[in-house]
Amino acid sequence: MAELRIAYVPGVTPGKWLERWRERQPDIPVQAQMYDGGDDPRALLAAGTADLVFLRFADGAKPADATTHVIPLYEELPVVCAPRDHGIELYDDEVPFDDLAGETWLDPADYPPAAGGVAMALEVVGSGAGLLLVPMSVGRLHRRKDVVQKVVAGVPSTRIGIAWLKPAGDEPEDVRVQEFIGIVRGRGANSSRQPSVREREQREAAQAQRQRQRAPQDAPRAGSRKTGQRPGGKGGAGSGGGKRRGGPSRGRR
């Protein structure tokens, strides 16, 4: 079967799912690569260069459309990134966004992948030029010693989801895609909802059916003579053709 191709946005760590895939489907190679062209790599699905993509979208949004399925997976908390020794270090927990009024903010759009992306933006943060808001997973990916990060309250969070193409017309769903989605959703190796398990159960059921169909050939045929039975249907010893039982004896008195 063809290789399974996966793309994911920065901050997603698909390693555990890839490992489970390799354990359960050793005959089907899987390739995963990070997509640095933004938060929505569904163009790779349309181009035929990926079978599944992990994307990022605003919490509460419904990213599924006429051509793609999207399953939300988990929420990402927003963090504020500031230079070391900034006042946010004094907060033990979340930083209220209102407490950051008057701060200078960097715009992630000013740092596209060609210009270094979030890594470059955090370098600018470290220089003291401004603060930056990013999902926590992205902040951890590009952690720097000269930048401090704190969860910020009062800012919309983001979500990570997994997307794949809807079948065209009467085409069936790709069983490889369905198998991987089941792994991501936490289904066990023996879950009956996994395509590989259903296929195995169907194969075992078909084999059992063939065995049942062959079984009557080994059973005695109808009307066959039983062991110890005389030709003509008369029984052997112990049947009506043996010595008489009961009645007066005709021997000498």
Q: What is the pTM of this model?
A: 0.74
Could you tell me the end-to-end alpha-carbon distance of the chain, in angstroms, rounded to an integer? Answer: 95
Tokens of 24: 């359960």
| pLDDT, tens digit (0-9, with 9 covering 90-100), for 131-184 | 999 999 999 999 999 999 999 999 999 999 999 999 988 888 899 999 999 999
For residue 20, which of 177, 182, 183 has the smallest C-alpha distance?
183
pLDDT, one tens digit per residue, over 204-214 is: 555 666 667 77
Query: Which CA distances in Å does 234 have to 27, 223, 226, 243, 244?
Result: 65, 14, 11, 14, 16
